[in-house]
Amino acid sequence: MINKIIATINEGRSFLITSHVKLDGDALGSELAIYCMLKNIRKKALIYNEDDTPGHYAFLPAAGKIVHTLDNISQFDVAFVLDCSELERVGDKAQEIGKIKKIINIDHHISNNGFSPLKLWDGRASSTGELIFCLFEQMKCKLTPDICTNLYAAILTDTGGFRYANTTKDTLWAAGKLVAGGADPQWISENIYENDPPAKIKLLKKALETLSLDLPNQIGSLVVTRSALRETGASYEHTEGLVEIPRSVKGIAVSILYTQLEDNSYKLSMRSKGNFDVEKIAKKFGGGGHANAAACRIKGNIETIKKDILKAINEAR
Protein backbone atom coordinates (compact mmCIF):
# COMPACT_ATOMS: atom_id res chain seq x y z
CA MET A 1 0.00 0.00 0.00
CA ILE A 2 2.75 2.45 0.96
CA ASN A 3 4.39 1.85 -2.43
CA LYS A 4 1.11 2.65 -4.20
CA ILE A 5 0.97 5.92 -2.27
CA ILE A 6 4.56 6.75 -3.19
CA ALA A 7 3.78 5.99 -6.87
CA THR A 8 0.71 8.24 -6.70
CA ILE A 9 2.85 11.06 -5.28
CA ASN A 10 5.46 10.61 -8.00
CA GLU A 11 2.88 10.49 -10.80
CA GLY A 12 0.62 13.27 -9.51
CA ARG A 13 0.81 16.80 -10.94
CA SER A 14 -1.42 18.96 -8.83
CA PHE A 15 -2.20 18.18 -5.18
CA LEU A 16 -4.89 19.38 -2.82
CA ILE A 17 -4.03 18.97 0.87
CA THR A 18 -6.74 19.18 3.50
CA SER A 19 -7.76 18.04 6.95
CA HIS A 20 -10.62 18.21 9.42
CA VAL A 21 -12.55 21.18 10.80
CA LYS A 22 -11.56 22.33 14.31
CA LEU A 23 -7.92 22.17 13.34
CA ASP A 24 -5.38 20.80 15.80
CA GLY A 25 -1.60 20.48 15.77
CA ASP A 26 -1.60 17.05 14.14
CA ALA A 27 -3.90 18.20 11.32
CA LEU A 28 -1.84 21.33 10.61
CA GLY A 29 1.64 19.88 11.11
CA SER A 30 0.73 16.95 8.86
CA GLU A 31 -0.66 19.18 6.10
CA LEU A 32 2.34 21.50 6.19
CA ALA A 33 4.85 18.64 6.17
CA ILE A 34 3.18 17.12 3.09
CA TYR A 35 3.10 20.58 1.47
CA CYS A 36 6.83 21.16 2.10
CA MET A 37 7.69 17.69 0.78
CA LEU A 38 5.66 18.25 -2.42
CA LYS A 39 7.23 21.68 -2.96
CA ASN A 40 10.70 20.17 -2.49
CA ILE A 41 10.00 17.74 -5.34
CA ARG A 42 8.54 20.60 -7.45
CA LYS A 43 4.89 19.59 -7.45
CA LYS A 44 1.92 21.95 -7.52
CA ALA A 45 0.24 21.92 -4.10
CA LEU A 46 -2.43 23.84 -2.23
CA ILE A 47 -3.58 23.52 1.37
CA TYR A 48 -7.27 24.21 1.93
CA ASN A 49 -8.91 24.28 5.37
CA GLU A 50 -12.45 25.31 6.14
CA ASP A 51 -11.41 26.74 9.52
CA ASP A 52 -8.83 29.41 10.29
CA THR A 53 -5.44 28.43 11.70
CA PRO A 54 -5.45 28.88 15.51
CA GLY A 55 -2.99 31.64 16.47
CA HIS A 56 -0.57 29.39 18.35
CA TYR A 57 0.04 27.34 15.19
CA ALA A 58 0.70 30.33 12.94
CA PHE A 59 4.48 29.96 13.53
CA LEU A 60 4.59 26.60 11.74
CA PRO A 61 6.70 26.71 8.57
CA ALA A 62 4.54 27.47 5.50
CA ALA A 63 1.42 28.11 7.63
CA GLY A 64 0.96 31.36 5.72
CA LYS A 65 0.25 29.38 2.54
CA ILE A 66 -3.02 27.86 3.79
CA VAL A 67 -6.15 29.08 2.00
CA HIS A 68 -9.79 28.99 3.08
CA THR A 69 -11.62 29.22 -0.25
CA LEU A 70 -11.64 26.51 -2.85
CA ASP A 71 -12.55 27.01 -6.51
CA ASN A 72 -11.79 25.02 -9.59
CA ILE A 73 -11.42 21.67 -7.89
CA SER A 74 -10.97 20.03 -11.30
CA GLN A 75 -7.37 21.32 -11.38
CA PHE A 76 -6.33 18.70 -8.78
CA ASP A 77 -5.54 15.12 -9.70
CA VAL A 78 -4.62 14.00 -6.16
CA ALA A 79 -6.00 14.98 -2.76
CA PHE A 80 -4.36 14.31 0.60
CA VAL A 81 -7.09 13.99 3.22
CA LEU A 82 -5.15 13.95 6.47
CA ASP A 83 -6.07 12.95 10.02
CA CYS A 84 -9.70 12.34 8.93
CA SER A 85 -11.60 9.20 9.88
CA GLU A 86 -14.38 10.14 7.43
CA LEU A 87 -14.37 12.37 4.37
CA GLU A 88 -17.15 14.48 5.92
CA ARG A 89 -14.67 15.68 8.58
CA VAL A 90 -13.17 18.16 6.07
CA GLY A 91 -16.35 20.25 6.24
CA ASP A 92 -18.70 21.74 3.64
CA LYS A 93 -16.45 20.95 0.66
CA ALA A 94 -16.28 17.22 1.44
CA GLN A 95 -18.50 16.14 -1.44
CA GLU A 96 -16.61 18.18 -4.03
CA ILE A 97 -13.22 17.00 -2.71
CA GLY A 98 -14.55 13.44 -2.89
CA LYS A 99 -14.72 13.82 -6.68
CA ILE A 100 -10.94 14.24 -7.04
CA LYS A 101 -9.57 11.24 -8.93
CA LYS A 102 -7.14 9.94 -6.35
CA ILE A 103 -7.54 10.46 -2.64
CA ILE A 104 -4.74 9.54 -0.23
CA ASN A 105 -6.05 9.24 3.30
CA ILE A 106 -3.41 9.23 6.05
CA ASP A 107 -4.99 8.71 9.45
CA HIS A 108 -4.64 7.06 12.85
CA HIS A 109 -8.20 7.22 14.21
CA ILE A 110 -9.49 3.82 15.28
CA SER A 111 -12.91 4.81 13.92
CA ASN A 112 -11.63 5.29 10.33
CA ASN A 113 -14.44 4.23 7.97
CA GLY A 114 -12.17 3.31 5.05
CA PHE A 115 -13.61 6.00 2.74
CA SER A 116 -10.54 5.89 0.51
CA PRO A 117 -9.00 2.70 -0.88
CA LEU A 118 -5.63 4.47 -1.02
CA LYS A 119 -4.83 4.87 2.63
CA LEU A 120 -2.01 4.81 5.14
CA TRP A 121 -3.79 3.97 8.36
CA ASP A 122 -2.58 2.65 11.70
CA GLY A 123 -4.80 2.94 14.74
CA ARG A 124 -1.79 2.36 17.01
CA ALA A 125 0.24 5.27 15.63
CA SER A 126 0.46 8.26 17.97
CA SER A 127 -0.52 10.70 15.26
CA THR A 128 -0.93 11.24 11.56
CA GLY A 129 2.41 13.08 11.81
CA GLU A 130 4.14 9.89 12.94
CA LEU A 131 2.66 7.99 9.95
CA ILE A 132 3.90 10.71 7.59
CA PHE A 133 7.35 10.42 9.19
CA CYS A 134 7.29 6.68 8.33
CA LEU A 135 6.12 7.46 4.78
CA PHE A 136 8.94 9.98 4.31
CA GLU A 137 11.50 7.48 5.65
CA GLN A 138 10.22 4.93 3.15
CA MET A 139 10.36 7.54 0.35
CA LYS A 140 13.92 8.44 1.42
CA CYS A 141 12.62 11.99 1.29
CA LYS A 142 14.94 14.75 2.51
CA LEU A 143 13.87 15.74 6.03
CA THR A 144 14.38 19.51 5.86
CA PRO A 145 14.15 21.59 9.07
CA ASP A 146 10.71 22.85 7.94
CA ILE A 147 9.40 19.31 7.49
CA CYS A 148 10.92 18.25 10.83
CA THR A 149 9.38 21.20 12.67
CA ASN A 150 5.91 20.48 11.27
CA LEU A 151 6.06 16.76 12.01
CA TYR A 152 7.45 17.34 15.50
CA ALA A 153 4.56 19.72 16.24
CA ALA A 154 2.09 17.12 14.95
CA ILE A 155 3.49 14.35 17.16
CA LEU A 156 3.98 16.61 20.20
CA THR A 157 0.41 17.86 20.26
CA ASP A 158 -1.37 14.56 19.55
CA THR A 159 0.54 12.83 22.37
CA GLY A 160 -0.26 15.65 24.81
CA GLY A 161 3.44 16.45 25.05
CA PHE A 162 4.48 12.75 25.03
CA ARG A 163 2.14 12.04 27.95
CA TYR A 164 -0.71 10.01 26.47
CA ALA A 165 -0.80 6.23 26.14
CA ASN A 166 -0.13 6.56 22.39
CA THR A 167 3.49 7.57 23.12
CA THR A 168 5.59 4.55 22.10
CA LYS A 169 9.29 3.89 21.65
CA ASP A 170 8.77 4.55 17.93
CA THR A 171 7.13 7.90 18.68
CA LEU A 172 10.14 9.03 20.73
CA TRP A 173 12.53 7.59 18.16
CA ALA A 174 10.77 9.59 15.41
CA ALA A 175 10.84 12.72 17.60
CA GLY A 176 14.60 12.25 18.09
CA LYS A 177 15.17 11.97 14.35
CA LEU A 178 13.10 15.10 13.76
CA VAL A 179 15.24 16.98 16.31
CA ALA A 180 18.35 15.66 14.55
CA GLY A 181 16.87 17.07 11.33
CA GLY A 182 16.35 20.53 12.74
CA ALA A 183 13.19 20.58 14.90
CA ASP A 184 13.80 22.65 18.05
CA PRO A 185 11.81 21.12 20.96
CA GLN A 186 11.97 24.23 23.12
CA TRP A 187 11.02 26.69 20.40
CA ILE A 188 8.14 24.53 19.17
CA SER A 189 6.80 23.90 22.70
CA GLU A 190 7.06 27.57 23.59
CA ASN A 191 5.17 28.63 20.50
CA ILE A 192 2.41 26.10 21.04
CA TYR A 193 2.09 25.97 24.82
CA GLU A 194 3.63 29.19 26.14
CA ASN A 195 2.35 31.84 23.84
CA ASP A 196 -1.04 32.63 25.33
CA PRO A 197 -2.65 36.06 25.56
CA PRO A 198 -3.24 37.31 29.13
CA ALA A 199 -6.97 36.70 28.46
CA LYS A 200 -6.29 32.96 28.58
CA ILE A 201 -5.09 33.16 32.19
CA LYS A 202 -8.12 35.28 33.05
CA LEU A 203 -10.27 32.54 31.53
CA LEU A 204 -8.42 29.91 33.59
CA LYS A 205 -9.15 31.91 36.75
CA LYS A 206 -12.81 32.22 35.79
CA ALA A 207 -13.11 28.55 34.81
CA LEU A 208 -11.61 27.43 38.13
CA GLU A 209 -14.62 28.98 39.87
CA THR A 210 -16.73 26.24 38.23
CA LEU A 211 -14.43 23.36 39.22
CA SER A 212 -16.31 20.22 40.22
CA LEU A 213 -14.49 17.21 41.62
CA ASP A 214 -16.78 14.20 42.02
CA LEU A 215 -14.27 11.86 43.67
CA PRO A 216 -16.69 8.95 44.31
CA ASN A 217 -17.38 8.83 40.55
CA GLN A 218 -13.81 9.89 39.61
CA ILE A 219 -15.12 12.69 37.39
CA GLY A 220 -13.71 16.22 37.35
CA SER A 221 -15.07 19.07 35.28
CA LEU A 222 -14.93 22.74 34.39
CA VAL A 223 -17.52 24.86 32.60
CA VAL A 224 -16.79 27.76 30.26
CA THR A 225 -19.91 29.79 29.56
CA ARG A 226 -20.30 32.31 26.77
CA SER A 227 -20.44 35.04 29.39
CA ALA A 228 -17.10 33.85 30.83
CA LEU A 229 -15.55 34.22 27.37
CA ARG A 230 -17.11 37.66 27.00
CA GLU A 231 -16.01 38.90 30.42
CA THR A 232 -12.39 37.73 30.05
CA GLY A 233 -11.99 38.74 26.42
CA ALA A 234 -10.92 35.18 25.61
CA SER A 235 -12.02 33.32 22.52
CA TYR A 236 -13.06 29.74 21.90
CA GLU A 237 -9.50 28.57 21.08
CA HIS A 238 -8.31 29.71 24.54
CA THR A 239 -10.31 26.93 26.17
CA GLU A 240 -7.66 24.49 24.86
CA GLY A 241 -5.78 22.84 27.71
CA LEU A 242 -8.33 23.69 30.42
CA VAL A 243 -9.53 20.09 30.41
CA GLU A 244 -6.10 19.05 31.71
CA ILE A 245 -6.73 20.83 35.05
CA PRO A 246 -9.30 18.45 36.60
CA ARG A 247 -7.40 15.54 35.04
CA SER A 248 -4.40 16.47 37.18
CA VAL A 249 -6.21 15.60 40.41
CA LYS A 250 -5.49 12.30 42.14
CA GLY A 251 -8.37 9.87 41.81
CA ILE A 252 -9.94 11.61 38.81
CA ALA A 253 -10.25 9.16 35.88
CA VAL A 254 -12.34 11.30 33.52
CA SER A 255 -12.00 15.03 33.05
CA ILE A 256 -14.57 17.05 31.11
CA LEU A 257 -14.58 20.62 29.86
CA TYR A 258 -18.07 21.89 29.02
CA THR A 259 -17.83 24.83 26.64
CA GLN A 260 -21.10 26.62 25.97
CA LEU A 261 -21.72 27.08 22.22
CA GLU A 262 -25.27 28.42 22.30
CA ASP A 263 -27.84 28.96 25.05
CA ASN A 264 -28.67 25.29 25.21
CA SER A 265 -25.71 23.65 23.50
CA TYR A 266 -22.32 22.55 24.82
CA LYS A 267 -19.12 21.11 23.42
CA LEU A 268 -17.65 18.43 25.70
CA SER A 269 -13.89 17.85 25.63
CA MET A 270 -13.05 14.70 27.52
CA ARG A 271 -9.74 13.33 28.75
CA SER A 272 -9.15 10.15 30.67
CA LYS A 273 -6.40 8.57 32.69
CA GLY A 274 -5.42 4.91 32.56
CA ASN A 275 -7.70 2.51 30.78
CA PHE A 276 -10.94 4.47 30.78
CA ASP A 277 -12.05 4.89 27.14
CA VAL A 278 -13.70 8.29 26.56
CA GLU A 279 -14.08 7.66 22.84
CA LYS A 280 -16.95 5.29 23.69
CA ILE A 281 -18.71 8.03 25.62
CA ALA A 282 -18.21 10.61 22.87
CA LYS A 283 -19.50 8.16 20.24
CA LYS A 284 -22.70 7.65 22.21
CA PHE A 285 -23.43 11.35 21.72
CA GLY A 286 -22.37 11.49 18.05
CA GLY A 287 -18.74 12.53 18.65
CA GLY A 288 -15.42 10.73 18.39
CA GLY A 289 -11.69 10.82 19.09
CA HIS A 290 -9.26 8.51 20.84
CA ALA A 291 -9.36 6.36 23.98
CA ASN A 292 -7.82 9.08 26.19
CA ALA A 293 -9.05 12.20 24.36
CA ALA A 294 -12.45 12.63 22.72
CA ALA A 295 -15.15 15.22 22.12
CA CYS A 296 -18.84 15.60 21.31
CA ARG A 297 -21.64 18.17 21.28
CA ILE A 298 -24.82 17.90 23.32
CA LYS A 299 -27.93 20.04 23.37
CA GLY A 300 -29.68 20.76 26.66
CA ASN A 301 -29.11 22.60 29.90
CA ILE A 302 -25.84 21.99 31.71
CA GLU A 303 -27.33 20.15 34.69
CA THR A 304 -29.21 17.65 32.50
CA ILE A 305 -26.13 17.11 30.33
CA LYS A 306 -23.98 16.46 33.41
CA LYS A 307 -26.48 13.87 34.62
CA ASP A 308 -26.59 12.15 31.21
CA ILE A 309 -22.81 12.02 31.06
CA LEU A 310 -22.52 10.62 34.57
CA LYS A 311 -24.98 7.88 33.58
CA ALA A 312 -23.08 7.10 30.36
CA ILE A 313 -19.76 6.95 32.22
CA ASN A 314 -21.11 4.65 34.90
CA GLU A 315 -22.62 2.36 32.27
CA ALA A 316 -19.27 2.17 30.45
CA ARG A 317 -17.24 1.12 33.51
SS3 assignment, position 24: coil
| Min dist. Cβ of residue 211 to a second copy (A) | 6
**Contacting range for a second copy; rule: CB under 8 A; set: 76-84, 201-209, 258-266, 278-286:** 201-209
- Binding of residue 195 to a second copy (CB under 8 A): yes
DSSP run (H or E) holding 265: strand 265-272
**Contacting range for a second copy; rule: CB under 8 A; set: 87-95, 113-121, 202-210, 230-238:** 202-210
- The span from the CA of 25 to the CA of 47, in Å, is 15
**Contacting range for a second copy; rule: CB under 8 A; set: 12-20, 43-51, 200-208, 304-312:** 200-208
Binding residue for a second copy (CB under 8 A) from 2, 41, 67, 201? 201
| Min dist. Cβ of residue 290 to a second copy (A) | 12
| Min dist. Cβ of residue 138 to a second copy (A) | 19
- Binding of residue 208 to a second copy (CB under 8 A): yes
Other C-beta atoms closer than 10 Å to the C-beta of 91 total: 16
Map 281-306 to HEC letters.
HHHHCCCEECCCEEEEEEECCHHHHH
In the chain, the amino acid numbered 122 is D
- Binding of residue 300 to a second copy (CB under 8 A): no
- Binding of residue 290 to a second copy (CB under 8 A): no
Beta strands in 34-87 (DSSP E): 44-48, 78-82
Minimum CB distance to a second copy smaller for 118 or for 172: 172
- Binding of residue 205 to a second copy (CB under 8 A): yes
- Binding of residue 185 to a second copy (CB under 8 A): yes
What sign for the dihedral angle of Cα 213, 214, 215, 219? negative
Binding residue for a second copy (CB under 8 A) from 39, 65, 177, 283? 177
Cα 123 from chain centroid (whole Å): 14
> Site mask, a second copy, residues 260-289, x = CB under 8 A?
-------------xx---------------
**Contacting range for a second copy; rule: CB under 8 A; set: 57-65, 92-100, 242-250, 281-289:** 242-250
**Contacting range for a second copy; rule: CB under 8 A; set: 11-19, 29-37, 98-106, 177-185:** 177-185
Q: What are the residues facing 80 on neighbouring strands?
A: 17, 104
- Binding of residue 236 to a second copy (CB under 8 A): no
DSSP run (H or E) holding 48: strand 44-48
Are residues 24 and 109 in contact, defined by beta-carbon separation less than 8 angstroms? no
Are residues 305 and 258 in contact, defined by beta-carbon separation less than 8 angstroms? yes
- Binding of residue 1 to a second copy (CB under 8 A): no
Whole-number Cα distances in Å, 66 to 49, 58, 80: 7, 10, 14
SS3 assignment, position 220: strand
**Interacting residues toward a second copy by CB under 8 A:** 161-165, 167-173, 175-177, 179-180, 185-187, 189-190, 193-198, 200-201, 204-205, 208-209, 211, 213, 245-250, 252, 273-274, 292
